[in-house]
């Protein structure tokens, strides 16, 4: 964890070094001055840095997770924190330039520090939009707008009718509710055109997440004594495991084999995976060269690992959203490359 946190510290020290005397806010509770929900819209910002003249503001959030790369552009959380600082009583001068920052050192395939710099007008515009969204949420029957981002951590997800409708709507007109899934056959994928397939793929993760949330909620309810019609709790499958420590067990197996087996047979050594090797090297380099910054250690490990590894071209392709950072493989064009490059003697 320390090398990851060091990336955030290096960023903060970098800004503070360039802005002597700047005011540093750490773990500051910030309240968004909403007229509609004055007490409910708040958060705890990880890092805020306000320049001495008050004209520049940095608002940064540290994300330790590796699985979901958090976008910085139009990041609602940081817009809310920055607007709370600017519109609250935290500074005496309105900043002209605001830099929102996500520090996410463990996110795979993404820059560990992502910045979005905006002017005051843009921030105030986004703050106004946020206020309008707060107002809309507080309507007696607020519009439910399912989406991967907003639903991912929503506690209402298991029972949300909007997700259920969205998940089922793309499957076909015949589905009005989950009960229909039992009686109406799901259409074959081959009956869909590209547009329909795109619609279905767009809600696939949302639907899978929703079914998972419903399953987890149902299990929790069942454990609390609620009867779920047609379902019951059972004991998990028991699995065998070694009774004693690995070295003791290995010795016992060798003894039982009357020496026919060796330590290498029963407890072979294995090479660590690439990710583990990188992690171990980072720790070792950092311990051996304490003066190196986390970024320098990471660069050295990347360089050294390049000497130890080769990249094998994958023969498989995956279908991913167009927003994915990897370059596109145009299957048809690539498959016919050899046909397009016809040797001149054949052409004649």
Q: Does 212 bind ligand SF4 (CB under 6 A)?
A: no
Helix residue ranges, H only, the chain: 2-18, 76-87, 120-137, 148-152, 161-169, 180-183, 194-223, 246-256, 263-266, 274-288, 294-308, 331-335, 337-340, 344-347
Per rule CB under 6 A, is residue 137 in the interface with ligand SF4? no
Smaller CB distance to ligand SF4: residue 24 or 214?
Answer: 214
- Distance between CA 28 and CA 26 in Å, rounded? 5
Q: Which of 47, 82, 151, 167 binds ligand SF4 (CB under 6 A)?
A: 151
Interface with ligand SF4 in residues 221-250 (CB under 6 A): none
Say how far apart CA 284 and CA 311 lie, in whole Å.
Answer: 25
Q: Which is nearer to ligand SF4, 100 or 203 (CB)?
A: 203
Q: Which of residues 155-184 bind ligand SF4 (CB under 6 A)?
A: 156-157, 160, 162-163
- Binding part of the chain for ligand SF4, among 21-29, 36-44, 140-148, 321-329 by CB under 6 A, reads 140-148
Would you count residue 207 as binding ligand SF4 (CB under 6 A)?
no
**C-alpha closest to that of 63 among 26, 100, 109, 105:** 105
CB 114 within 8 Å of CB 125: no
Nearest CB to ligand SF4, comparing residues 165 and 196: 165
Count of residues interacting with ligand SF4 (CB under 6 A): 11
Measured CA to CA, the distance from residue 304 to residue 278 in angstroms comes to 9
Determine phi and psi for 247, rounding to 5 degrees: -65, -35
Name the residue nearer to ligand SF4 (CB basis): 148 or 263. Answer: 148
Residue 189 structure tokens: 């994928």
Nearest-approach distance from CB 150 to ligand SF4, in angstroms? 4
Out of 48, 95, 105, 146, the only residue in the binding site for ligand SF4 (CB under 6 A) is 146
Residue 236: CB minimum distance to ligand SF4, A? 29
Q: Does 150 bind ligand SF4 (CB under 6 A)?
A: yes
- ∠48-152-211 over CA atoms, to 5°? 170
Q: Is the dihedral of CA 35, 23, 110, 106 positive or negative?
A: negative
Interface residue with ligand SF4 among 154, 184, 266, 277 (CB under 6 A) is 154
**With the CA atoms of 69, 75, 78 and 83 taken in that order, what torsion angle do they form, in degrees rounded to the nearest 10?**
180
List of residues contacting ligand SF4 (CB under 6 A) = 144-146, 150-151, 154, 156-157, 160, 162-163
């Amino acid at each position: 964890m320390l090398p990851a946190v060091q990336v955030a510290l290096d960023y903060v020290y970098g800004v503070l070094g360039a802005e002597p005397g700047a005011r540093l806010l750490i773990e500051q509770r910030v309240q968004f001055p909403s007229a509609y929900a004055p007490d409910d819209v708040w958060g705890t910002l990880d890092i805020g840095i306000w320049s001495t003249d008050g004209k520049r503001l940095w608002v940064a959030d540290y994300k330790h997770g590796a699985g979901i790369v958090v976008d910085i552009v139009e990041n609602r959380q940081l817009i809310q924190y920055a607007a709370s600082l600017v519109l609250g009583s935290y500074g005496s001068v309105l900043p002209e330039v605001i830099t929102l920052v996500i520090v996410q050192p463990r996110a795979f395939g993404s820059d560990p520090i992502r910045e979005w710099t905006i002017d005051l007008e843009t921030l105030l515009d986004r703050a106004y939009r946020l206020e309008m969204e707060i107002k809309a949420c507080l309507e007696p029957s607020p519009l439910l707008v399912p989406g991967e981002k907003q639903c991912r951590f929503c506690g209402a997800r298991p029972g949300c009718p909007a997700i259920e409708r969205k998940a089922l709507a793309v499957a076909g007109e015949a589905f009005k509710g989950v009960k229909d899934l039992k009686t109406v056959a799901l259409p074959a994928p081959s009956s869909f055109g590209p547009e329909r397939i795109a619609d279905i793929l767009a809600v696939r993760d949302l639907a899978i997440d929703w079914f998972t949330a419903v399953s987890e909620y149902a299990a929790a309810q069942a454990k609390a004594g609620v009867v779920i019609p047609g379902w019951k709790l059972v004991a998990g499958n028991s699995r065998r495991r070694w009774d004693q420590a690995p070295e003791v067990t290995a010795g016992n197996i060798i003894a039982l084999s009357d020496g026919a087996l060796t330590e290498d047979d029963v407890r072979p050594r294995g090479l660590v995976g690439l990710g583990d090797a990188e992690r171990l090297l980072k720790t070792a380099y950092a311990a051996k060269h304490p003066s190196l910054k986390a970024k320098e250690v990471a660069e050295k490990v990347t360089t050294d690992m390049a000497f130890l590894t080769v990249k094998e071209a994958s023969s498989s392709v995956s279908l991913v959203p167009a927003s994915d950072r990897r370059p596109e493989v145009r299957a048809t064009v690539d498959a016919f490359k050899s046909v397009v490059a016809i040797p001149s003697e054949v052409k004649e």
